[in-house]
Amino acid sequence: MKNYIVALDGPAGSGKSTIAKIIAKDFNLTYLDTGAMYRMVALYTLQNNINIKDSKTIIESLPKINMDIVNDSFILNGVDVSKEIRTPEVTKIVSPAAAIKEVRIKLVDLQREISKGKKVILDGRDIGTVVFPNADVKIFLVASPEERAKRRVKDYLSKGITEDFKTVLADIIERDLIDSSRKESPLKKAHDAIEIDSSFMNIQECVYSIETIIYSIIGE
């Protein structure tokens, strides 16, 4: 079977990563969580006391930020930071980091490199519009901000982190705004992407509808 690319884009908390992981397993695809890569840049700024608004220093630091993805683990300069990149502290500052053009250039190159010669599903914001505009399958997954905040609170709880609903909702609305209004590769549905609203769907229903689409296009 030929290599192919599934682009799964959508706003924060729409369920992309949960769903992408299941589909990757079912279809034997490599899964690339591109949001985790932006999170590693944000974590680097925290670790090195760099103000997130200081884009000049962040850009100068880029050559010192080495990231690796080994199986499901995210390695930043040799250290496994899979847990650290999911903390609310990183979540709060990641959107401004992802808005920096030079950061995006570096990470998009890396995403293309990692995907080369593979059957792959990538989740992010700009996969179908910028990273792989010729992706074989493009899905744009959305859900209401309230539903997404509810899911995030639950997700944090499962990791032992207590965050209150209103704070998470405000954070999601703010991130949506930054991600969709930024100049560089804003969060936007590709003209040829298929939109799925997961607000009233459970995970299995979402997976089923996306797998049906992949099957109908790729035939796997």
Binding residues for ligand DC, rule: CB under 6 A, are 12, 34-35, 38-39, 94-95, 98, 124-127, 175, 179
Nearer to ligand DC, 34 or 198 (CB): 34
Residues with Cβ within 8 Å of residue 155, at least 6 apart in sequence: none
Provide the minimum distance between the beta carbon of 32 and ligand DC in the complex, in angstroms, as a whole number: 10
Tokens of 17: 């990563």
d(CA 103, CA 98): 7
d(CA 199, CA 164): 20
Angle between helices 165-181 and 88-98 (to 10 degrees): 10
Provide the minimum distance between the beta carbon of 74 and ligand DC in the complex, in angstroms, as a whole number: 11
Provide the minimum distance between the beta carbon of 219 and ligand DC in the complex, in angstroms, as a whole number: 27
Nearer to ligand DC, 36 or 214 (CB): 36
Nearer to ligand DC, 124 or 145 (CB): 124
Nearer to ligand DC, 151 or 175 (CB): 175
Q: Exposed e or buried b for every residue in 46-83, given b needs 16+ CB within 10 A? A: eeeebebeebeebeebeeebebebeeeebebeeeebbe
Provide the minimum distance between the beta carbon of 62 and ligand DC in the complex, in angstroms, as a whole number: 16
Provide the minimum distance between the beta carbon of 147 and ligand DC in the complex, in angstroms, as a whole number: 15
d(CA 211, CA 126): 21
Provide the minimum distance between the beta carbon of 78 and ligand DC in the complex, in angstroms, as a whole number: 22
Where do we find the tokens 């859900």? Answer: 143
Nearer to ligand DC, 127 or 196 (CB): 127
d(CA 85, CA 46): 11
Nearer to ligand DC, 171 or 214 (CB): 171
